[in-house]
Chain A
Amino acid sequence: MGSEAAAEALWGALIATQAPPRPGGAERTRPVESSASWPRVDRVGLALCWAAGMLLCLVAAGIVLYMLFKGLQYLRPGLLVERPVADPDQSKSGGFLDPLIGTVMLTGLGTAMAVPLGVATAIWLTEYGRPWWLARAVESGVEIVAGTPSIVLAIFGLLIFAQPLFAFLSFTAEGNAVFGRSFFNAAAMMSLIALPLVVGATREALQSIPSHIREASYALGKTKAATIRRILLPAVRPGIGTGAALGMGRIAGDTAIVIGLLGATLQIERVDGPPVIDVLRGTGSTLTSYVYNNSPSGEGNAPEKAYAAAFVLLVVVVALNFGVDLLSRRRKLPAWTR
């Protein structure tokens, strides 16, 4: 974007400049009034608004460029396909294949849990929502879940999943102590992070459907259930997609639950059981915990690996956000929503 135009506008706001007279002919005033005529406080306010936006752009550009620089400096393709090994010698400690798989698995599993739950909640809230006090309670519940820090969710999850009742979800140590850390458990808590986003996006989409669409369906002798299933759900599918993608970004970027509930073991550790289930009952790590455990700002001392992994993580999250943008922009608005 034209940063020159921005600077010009900034100065235009601060210093009263006159537009140069047009060669030959009467002077035409601007279509929008010049901020030069504004009171000083308004001009300062406008300048601050510009400055805030520019600052944010700089910060975002700084992060991306820095990570790009550092990441490309240390990332080699081998890191993506080598399994990590615990070795003090960094040349032998392998890559981060397992954390990468862990991120993908945890994100997929968490989203798969959050979407049905979130869509069901949104449908109940928008289409039923009675009695009103129960609807208020559900709304507050969603808001509380949305506001809970993920480390609190992790501790709470550990408390719950270490109960003998949930032993089948993780691994039981000698003396019947339930370990409470597994892909299942971490994904269940991760789904709570994504849930409010799915609920919010789905509700918004449902509310944007005018009531005469529902009535048109009822007026054909259709039940409410049929209306929801055949008309409303297909219509809000882009909204659900947006919520799910936002939730995926949050899950992929969370660290506390991985460290608390996934065990943050370097490699994916299987627990006895049938295939797939043994992995899901086992522990592992994600890119976030890998960065934390390798970076000097966390626990480790392998900044090169941390930078490379952080770069990959950033690419994943930015790609997800880009996907959200694409999804919500490409969304065809039916005529009746205008």
Chain B
Amino acid sequence: MDSLIPPPIRRIAVDESPTTVAPPPADERRPDGEANGHRAGMFGTPTPRARSGRPGVERMRTERLTIAYGEKVAVNSVSLPVRQGEILALIGPSGCGKTTFLRSLNRLIELTPNATRQGRITLDSGDVDALEVTELRRRVTMVFQQPNPFPMSIFDNIAYGLREQGSSRPGRAELEPAVVDALERAGLFGEVSENLEHAALRLSGGQQQRLCIARALAVRPEVLLLDEPCSALDPRSTARIEDLLVKLRDDVAIVIVTHNLQQAYRIADHVAFMYLGELVEYAPTDQVFGAPRHERTKDYVSGGFG
């Protein structure tokens, strides 16, 4: 193949058997030494967190999901599974539709006036369109790029999601155990246990982001979506959040959009590489980084473009 001409984008049909990915054909596979050298050169010392050994339970799945903003197609016929017990990382250059895909999972994309969607999204085998959006979004919560705690106390930030919207509002005493539990799961309780009444916006950026994660965990979701949660944070805070996500993956299915390839390598169990709205490659992390089957994936993970 002429290496100057990029190969056409090929989609992998993940519908049949998403977990088992056939090994790449022998003629496309690069020598092992080259693959290892390339990886070592890219990451310095690659230190992946422990990968999840067993295949997880599938919680969500998209089937031929297509999303367009007006005429412009942002996500083109993407089929992906989301499993509990695993972290799924979405990687790809800017504008490739990762965030759009993520936002469609909890139907947040429907707030964008000209966005249209085709294809099916299921949550525990039920179509998400059949669910009330408020219920769906309590089951599939989201953490954003910018730490965005609400301008209220730490306690109220967590309790906000827990309080029912009906006329009866549970009191502080009733909510306290759940709030403390959420803060503990997000690894923040030790730092803020003394001052739950302090304004959340006084926390540091990393603490704010963990507060946002705690807030999203408090409603006991089945799926947690994270849109570049560490891009505004320093490496130390990033590491804490990565540890946290790896700990959480057994309780909740995690989908993370990231521009940070090292991060995807460190924490993800499966990686989906998207390019121009297409799903180019979906495979276990080590395969995507070690032996990508597609030229574009290889280019991207080796910093070729993006």
Binding site for B on A (CB under 8 A): 210, 212-213, 215-223, 226, 230-231, 234-235, 332, 334-336
Contacts of A226 in B (CB 8 A): 165
Given contacts A230-B160, A234-B151, A234-B152, contact A218 B165 (CB under 8 A): no
**In the bound complex, do residue B150 and residue A216 qualify as a contact, i.e. CB atoms below 8 Å apart?**
yes
Q: Give the Cβ gap from B95 to chain A, nearest Cβ, in Å.
A: 18
Contacts of A335 in B (CB 8 A): 147, 201, 205, 208
**In the bound complex, do residue B146 and residue A336 qualify as a contact, i.e. CB atoms below 8 Å apart?**
yes
Given contacts A213-B150, A235-B151, A336-B148, contact A219 B201 (CB under 8 A): no
Cβ-defined partner of A221 (8 Å) among B144, B161, B208: B161
Output the nearest chain A residue to B164 by Cβ-Cβ distance: A226
Output the nearest chain B residue to A333 by Cβ-Cβ distance: B201
Question: 7 new A-B pairs (CB below 8 Å) besides A219-B144, A334-B201?
Answer: A213-B150, A215-B111, A219-B225, A221-B141, A222-B160, A226-B165, A231-B151
Q: List 28 A-B contacts (CB under 8 A).
A: A210-B148, A212-B144, A212-B145, A212-B146, A212-B148, A215-B111, A215-B142, A216-B148, A216-B150, A218-B111, A219-B108, A219-B137, A219-B225, A220-B138, A220-B160, A220-B215, A221-B133, A221-B134, A221-B135, A221-B219, A222-B134, A222-B161, A223-B134, A235-B150, A334-B151, A334-B201, A335-B201, A335-B205
Binding site for A on B (CB under 8 A): 106, 108, 111, 133-139, 141-142, 144-148, 150-152, 160-161, 165, 201, 205, 208, 212, 215-216, 219, 225
Q: In terms of DSSP, what is the predominant structure of the interface of chain A? A: helix
**In the bound complex, do residue A220 and residue B219 qualify as a contact, i.e. CB atoms below 8 Å apart?**
yes
Which of A210, A218, A223 has most chain B Cβ within 10 Å?
A218
**In the bound complex, do residue A221 and residue B148 qualify as a contact, i.e. CB atoms below 8 Å apart?**
no
Cβ-defined partner of A220 (8 Å) among B141, B152, B205: B141
Q: In terms of DSSP, what is the predominant structure of the interface of chain B? A: helix
**Interchain CA distance A218-B219 in the complex, whole Å:** 13
Contacts of A332 in B (CB 8 A): 201
Cβ-defined partner of B142 (8 Å) among A219, A231, A334: A219
Output the nearest chain B residue to A209 by Cβ-Cβ distance: B151
Q: Give the Cβ gap from A226 to chain B, nearest Cβ, in Å.
A: 5
**Interchain CA distance A152-B95 in the complex, whole Å:** 55
Q: Give the Cβ gap from A209 to chain B, nearest Cβ, in Å.
A: 9
Contacts of A219 in B (CB 8 A): 106, 108, 137, 141-142, 144, 216, 225
**Interchain CA distance A336-B203 in the complex, whole Å:** 13
**Interchain CA distance A234-B216 in the complex, whole Å:** 21
Contacts of A230 in B (CB 8 A): 150, 160
Q: List 7 A-B pairs, minimum CB-CB distance, nearest first.
A: A221-B138, A219-B142, A221-B137, A220-B161, A221-B134, A334-B201, A336-B148
**In the bound complex, do residue A218 and residue B108 qualify as a contact, i.e. CB atoms below 8 Å apart?**
yes
**Interchain CA distance A223-B161 in the complex, whole Å:** 11
**Interchain CA distance A330-B61 in the complex, whole Å:** 49
**Interchain CA distance A230-B133 in the complex, whole Å:** 19
Output the nearest chain A residue to B165 by Cβ-Cβ distance: A226
Q: Give the Cβ gap from B165 to chain A, nearest Cβ, in Å.
A: 5
Which of A210, A213, A215 has most chain B Cβ within 10 Å?
A215
**Interchain CA distance A220-B138 in the complex, whole Å:** 5
Output the nearest chain B residue to A215 by Cβ-Cβ distance: B108
Contacts of B215 in A (CB 8 A): 220
Contacts of A212 in B (CB 8 A): 144-146, 148
**In the bound complex, do residue A223 and residue B165 qualify as a contact, i.e. CB atoms below 8 Å apart?**
yes
**Interchain CA distance A275-B161 in the complex, whole Å:** 46
**Interchain CA distance A332-B200 in the complex, whole Å:** 13
Contacts of B111 in A (CB 8 A): 215, 218
**Interchain CA distance A220-B218 in the complex, whole Å:** 9
**Interchain CA distance A221-B216 in the complex, whole Å:** 10
**In the bound complex, do residue B108 and residue A220 qualify as a contact, i.e. CB atoms below 8 Å apart?**
no
